[in-house]
Amino acid sequence: MKAEHFVGGVFRSDGRPFPLVSPVDGTEFGTVPEATREVVDDAVTAARAALTGPWGAPGGEPERAAALRRIADGIDARFAEFVDAEVADTGRPREFAETVDVPRAAGNFRAYADLLYGRPERSYTTPVPGWSVGTGQALNYTVRRPLGVVAVVSPWNLPLLLSTWKIAPALACGNAVVLKPSEETPSTATLLARVIADAGLPDGVFNVVHGHGAGAAGEFLTAHQGVDAIAFTGESATGAAIMRNAADHVTPVSFELGGKNPALVFADADLDAAVDGTVRSCFTHSGQICLCTERVYVERPIFDEFVARLAGRARALDGYGPMISAEHRDKVLSYYALARAEGATVVAGGGVPEFGDARDGGFHVEPTVLTGLPETARAVREEIFGPVCHVAPFDTEDEALRLANDSPYGLAATVWTRDLSRAHRVAPRVETGIVWVNCWNLRDLRTPFGGVKASGIGREGGEYSLDFFSEPVNVCVQI
């Protein structure tokens, strides 16, 4: 799959190429064009020109919904190509791409096509006050109009799923989109552009520019005065940099940022289910999902057994996938070394696996279980974004909540208990945007998704995304 820009309905490859590297074995398997400032300008200009046409006009919801369904059908028709591209870029297990990434991408477009039709708006009958001209009543009602040109900056960990999670509602609302995918995982963005071109959207409604972030395509796009809104998923530090760029033009932002997610395991939990769920929440995609658990708090009576079982499962894992890059692998390994220096006991993992095949040239690290660190340790407080968790005991419900909430982050949490009252009592007190009880990453696309504190601004999902990507306008008609 050749990565190309898609600007105003035209594929192009101008810009200095940089290598695309397989995280599985470290080999180069393609190149990506680095978008210049001129390429980004062209994309924003094309997007703004598309807004003068019928795409975002009032009453265009049926046509837009039909277009979204054509995009979903196009993803399904090229399912194997999307899977191949996602696996090549990310190194994740093929099963994950086949059951999560690509189906969810198509599902995002269908979900927002459906939501367009079920969305109510409010109206009010208003008495005309005595000081106003005329008498009788007025009718106030709300209509929504698109924001305009939306910059979507998507991450490398779930590139197709998370980009379409923003693109679909942005297009549904009648906006024009400029997507800047991660430089690590550009292939599915180019393939999506081909599907959208085949779906017959007007030229300029959807655009793709490739490249890096700071001082490059990402910064050129998010600081562009022609951009009307920014939707970003990624690291909190990058979000802060984008926010500074956006401030110059008072550009609205929607951010889903990092996390240091806690799990609370109570002594009355189904231990088998809690261990299984924690293995999934810590090690899926090698911990490279913003929702993954990195801090596990276990009630003391079951602490030793839980740690032993979790560590045994971690040692037995295979096929969990590499880190996305050599740089990220080195970052994760540096945290393993830091944890040791801070006094951690490495119960499982802590190093680099040896496979005896081509994978030894890739960017793999071992799934790792740590214990024994104080809550002030950097390895406990800072997001690592790898297959690692620290497990600590607690004695009371209040202590568990205090430990869970003592973090600059607040994205997601899990609670494991068979006590129904405790579940309903604890979950609302955890300072995160989403709390799973006796499960992990079970998602309904209609529900709000996002974080608090350093984990994000705003909410995505269902009507929450439609609210961000459109502007309410009040119309007042005196009767």
**Residues 33, 17 contacting (CB under 8 angstroms):** yes
Question: How far apart are the C-alpha atoms of 51 and 278, rounded to whole Å?
Answer: 46
Interhelix angle 187-198/79-90, rounded to 10 degrees, is 160
Sequence-distant (6+) residues with CB within 8 A of 469 are 146, 147, 150, 169, 170, 172, 173, 175, 229, 231
Pairing of strands 456-457, 409-410: unpaired
Contact 365, 352 (CB under 8 A): yes
For residues 41 and 193, give the distance between their C-alpha atoms in angstroms, rounded to a whole number.
18
Residues 6+ apart with CB under 8 A from 313: 275, 279
Does the active-site annotation cover 256?
yes
Cross-sheet strand order for the sheet of 137-146: 123-127, 137-146, 470-478
Q: For residue 397, give Cα distances in angstroms to 393, 401, 423.
A: 12, 6, 11
Residue that is written with structure tokens 């520019």 in the block: 209
Residue with tokens 């560590």: 311
Contact call for residues 348 and 369 (beta carbons, < 8 A): yes
Instruction: Choose, from 256, 294, 431, 460, the residue flagged as catalytic.
Output: 256
Q: By the 8 A CB rule, do 240 and 364 touch?
A: no
Per-residue tokens: 287: 């911990």
User: Do residues 298 and 393 make contact, with C-beta atoms less than 8 angstroms apart?
Assistant: yes
Tokens of residue 450, six digits: 């996002």
Residues classed as catalytic: 256
